[in-house]
Chain A
């Protein structure tokens, strides 16, 4: 699964640590999601999308 988390975070000028704090996860988890090493669970994906005020399919999408 690909995602736009890094772009959305950069738009808001948040650091990875800041985003991690808002989502109550570790910074390593944010880094792993951004680099595509880890696919978040559905509840976390929904929380990420809600935080960026996007729909989940606008943040996460399948790799071609």
Chain B
């Protein structure tokens, strides 16, 4: 598994960013169930939504990892990342609009997290295809 775009040879800064990215994702996987559990346990406490900020800290670290990775990439790698992100955005928007017409009638309503996951998968696939163009 890799961040969309580069892969293969990573420089020292990219390796550091890559490590941070995966550690933060691991942290998210740990913090999310903890936050859910705490929220359920203290269900009467009025500040319980604060528990849900726990996984957000991990999300911030994930984004920090991605930003560091992007800043450590050279110009061609940045282009690949940006192009693939643009493709993913365009495809996801089209898919969301197209599915929106059928939602609630032919198909059941789709959760936003599914749409986001779809966009991430499309980003990954687009990055692989874009990378091949420059090989």
Contact = CB atoms under 8 A, between A and B. Distances in A.
Report the contact-size class of chain B (Cβ under 8 Å from the partner). 10 to 19
Interface residues of A, number: 13
Contacts of A25: 74-76
Interface string B106-135: 000000000000000000000000000111
Q: Is the interface of B mostly helix, strand, loop or mixed?
A: loop
Interface stretch (A3-11, A27-35, A53-61): A27-35
Nearest to A41: B75
Contacts of A40: 75-76
A28 B134 contact: yes
A29 B135 contact: no
B75 A28 contact: no
Interface in B1-43: 6, 8-9, 11
Contacts of B11: 26
12 contacts: A25-B74, A26-B9, A26-B77, A27-B9, A28-B9, A29-B75, A29-B77, A32-B134, A37-B135, A38-B134, A40-B76, A44-B75
